[in-house]
Structure formats: C-alpha cells, structure tokens
Amino acid sequence: MYGAKEIILSEIKPALGCTEPAAVALNAAYLREYGVYDEKNLKLTVNTNLLKNAMYVPIPNTSKRFGVKLAFALGYLFGDVNDGLNIFKNLNEEKVKKALEFSEKVKVELIEGSELFIKSENSYAEAVTIKFHDNIEYVISKGELKEFDNHQEEVEVKSYVLEDKPFDIVYDLIEQEKSFEFVREAVELNMALAEYGMNHDVGINVSKQFSGDSLKDKICKITTSASDSRMDGVNMPAMSLTGSGNHGISATLPVWVYAKEKGFSEEETLKAVALSMLITIYVKLFIGRLSVICGAAVASGCGVAGAIAYLESDRETSKKAVKHVIQNISTLLCDGGKMACSLKVLQGASVGYDSAKFALNAMEVYEDGIIFEDVTKTIKALKGIKEKMSGVDEEVVKIMKEKLL
C-alpha cells in the first residue's frame, strides 16, 4: 500500500495556465520532435471533454488568445518537449502571430468521451496522448513506432489503490506520515499566483469583490486571486492536482490561510493541506478527471471542509463536513475552462469553509437525497450521478461546438 506522500506526489505537477491547451501543445511538440515536420494534412483529434476545457481559456503569453488550433500551432512550431505542461513559458508576440497564421492549416476532429484523448497528425506521423495530460503514449513516424516511458501506470497504481477503500483510508494514511514538507512547494507556487492576483487586474477580478477582514473573506480573496491569475494566462505556474491547476489552488490555499490565521503550527498546517489534497484525490476517483461535475468546487470543496474540520476536531467531524459539501453542491456543472472558473473555485473555498463550520457547530446531516450515514457510500454515489449526467455534458459540448465548428 502506498503512503499519502507517494500518492499526492504522483498527482501533483507544476503547470502553466490551463492544463488542456498545454496538453494539446505538448502533444504537437512531440509530433514535431519525434515525427517528421510537415505542414500538410495537419489534423488534431481530441475528446469532447478536453475541447470543453480548452476552448475558451486564455493561453499564457498570448495576450489572452485561446483555442485548440492555436495551442496545437504553438506547440508544433515552438514547443519544447522538455518543458512539459509549462510549454507556453517562452512565447512572445512574434511567435504568437506566426502560430495564429499557421493554425488555419489545422483541421479539428472530435470524438465523444470524457477520458482524455489527443492525437495530432501530419502526412508522415502521428502522436497520441491518453488519460493524463502529459502522458504521450507513442509517436508513429513513417511507419516506425516509438513508445515512451511515462508515469501513467504509476499514477493509476498509486491513486487507484484508494478506489476500493473506505473513506477512512485518507485519515489513516495521513496519520502514518511523519513529515508534510512535500506539500510546501504546492502552497508556495499557488500563493505566488495569489499575491500576483491581489496586486494586478487579472481574470474577472473575483478576488477584488472581497474587502472585509473576516477569515472567510480572506480565504475567498486569496484563493480566487490565484485562480484569476491562472485563468488570465499569467506567466506563473500553479501546482496542479489530479491534472488541474484550479483543483490544486482550491484544495491548498483555503486550508493554508485558515490554519495560518488561526495560529496552528507549521506542521499542523501542512498536514491539513496534505489531507485536503488527499480527500480531493479520493473524490476525483469517482467524479472523473474530465467531468461534467466541477472538481474545483466539489472535490476540492470536500478537501477544504474535511481538512479544516479535522484540524479543529477529529475525523468524525471531518466526515460530516464532507457530507455537508456534497448535500450542497454535489452536481455543480462544469461548462468548460474559462476565466470565470474562478467563480467555481470560489464555491470550493466558500462552501468548504462553511461546511467545516457547520460540522464543527454540530449541525445535523440527515440521510436524505443522496446522503448516506456512511460517507464512503455518499461519495461513491457521485459516480453513478456523474455517469447519468453524460447527456448534460453532451449538451454543453454541443453548444460549445456550435460556436467553434
């Protein structure tokens, strides 16, 4: 059985901007690097849920330009495969203009499905990414297959060991760890984005709506500042969690701010952040990586609620806090990556904080709706609901496709 540290580290990675455009660009860079450069018959095939998250979100260093064709062109022309999900870090206006012109040569095709899939092609080669944003499975060039060593199997093994375990496993694993320094970088990267956002006009400026001195206002202001910066395309990485920068932001910063403001020790604070991240990972196993349900609100909100309640009390109170989140925002819709994602991050921070307080104040959680006495059953119920909501997801993608194609 893997420990909390191993599982969390397998699910975090610095990422510049939204991870879906970066995944497209990285795939295209592999096509050029390991295939044959050609400007004819360029085709990009992606699954519908990836398109949903990549269509309207600004690409870093492009003056808020967006689109999968542009992401492909930037990666194909200028991407460095060694930069991973930070592939947009060295762009300038000249490169962007060339990529915009080049992007007109790219044909986009869609396949149905929520599981991440990217295939880029030219006349002589193709590159394929599956399941994870930086998981380039192979490149075929002039009939020759080149496969890549990747972390896909490692991530699946480490994270998915949780899937058939009761929810108490997250507390067991956290309580077995001796040190939580391994989450410090995540906090530092995400706090740097927050500090930038508080001092600049970025995104839709959700954070600027919070001017009060209450702890909840501080949590909402700092957390949404980081998301506003990320969704604006600021040239600074977030620490992504389960493939999403916003998941990482909304799972870490509310807990960090809460614990610091309340005077908890450094070790207690980092432990609570780690618990929030692990709860987020657990919930994401059931709602999916690219999902109709917003993970930055629901999964990370569960993490925030569970971690704050645990920090102040115990695991039983923590589990009640998680159930409060689910009975409140269990089916909050993901309608794609965009600057307004900071509003969804706000829900994770705000509802997570409130739910922890509800539980700490002994507010009852009744067994109604989809809520069971057993928190494990409650979380697993989200999987069936997510699957039944596939028609909703299809309608969202249909609306977005009408704008694109």
DSSP assignment string, 96-159? HHHHHHHGGG-EEEEE--SS-EEEEE-SSEEEEEESSTT-EEEEEETTEEEE---SHHHHHHHH
pLDDT tens digits for range 153-191: 555 557 778 999 999 999 999 999 999 999 999 999 999
pLDDT tens digits for range 383-401: 999 999 988 888 988 888 7
| pLDDT score at 150 | 64
Give the confidence band of 245 by pLDDT, cuts at 50, 70, 90: very high
**Calpha distance 395→401 (Å, rounded):** 10
Quick one: average pLDDT of 86-104? 97
| pLDDT score at 66 | 92
**Calpha distance 84→129 (Å, rounded):** 13
pLDDT of 7 over the 60 cut: yes
| pLDDT score at 113 | 84
pTM score of the predicted model: 0.93
Quick one: average pLDDT of 278-293? 95
Give the confidence band of 70 by pLDDT, cuts at 50, 70, 90: very high
140-154, 255-269, 301-315, range with the lowest pLDDT: 140-154
What's the N-to-C CA distance of the chain in angstroms? 47
| pLDDT score at 404 | 62
pLDDT tens digits for range 20-69: 999 999 999 999 999 989 999 999 999 988 999 998 899 999 999 999 99
Locate 392 and state its tokens: 């909703």
| pLDDT score at 405 | 55
pLDDT tens digits for range 363-380: 999 999 999 999 999 999
Quick one: average pLDDT of 79-95? 96
pLDDT tens digits for range 182-221: 999 999 999 999 999 999 999 999 999 999 999 999 999 9
Quick one: average pLDDT of 87-116? 95
The answer to whether 226 touches 249, Cβ cutoff 8 Å, is yes
Three-class SS state of 239? strand
The answer to whether 173 touches 7, Cβ cutoff 8 Å, is yes
| pLDDT score at 106 | 97
Locate 276 and state its tokens: 């929030």
Three-class SS state of 35? coil
**Calpha distance 125→142 (Å, rounded):** 6
- Dihedral through CA 264, CA 256, CA 184, CA 230, nearest 10? -170
Sign of CA dihedral 220, 221, 222, 226: positive
| pLDDT score at 114 | 82
| Percentage of the chain lying above the pLDDT 90 cut | 88
| pLDDT score at 397 | 85
| pLDDT score at 149 | 74
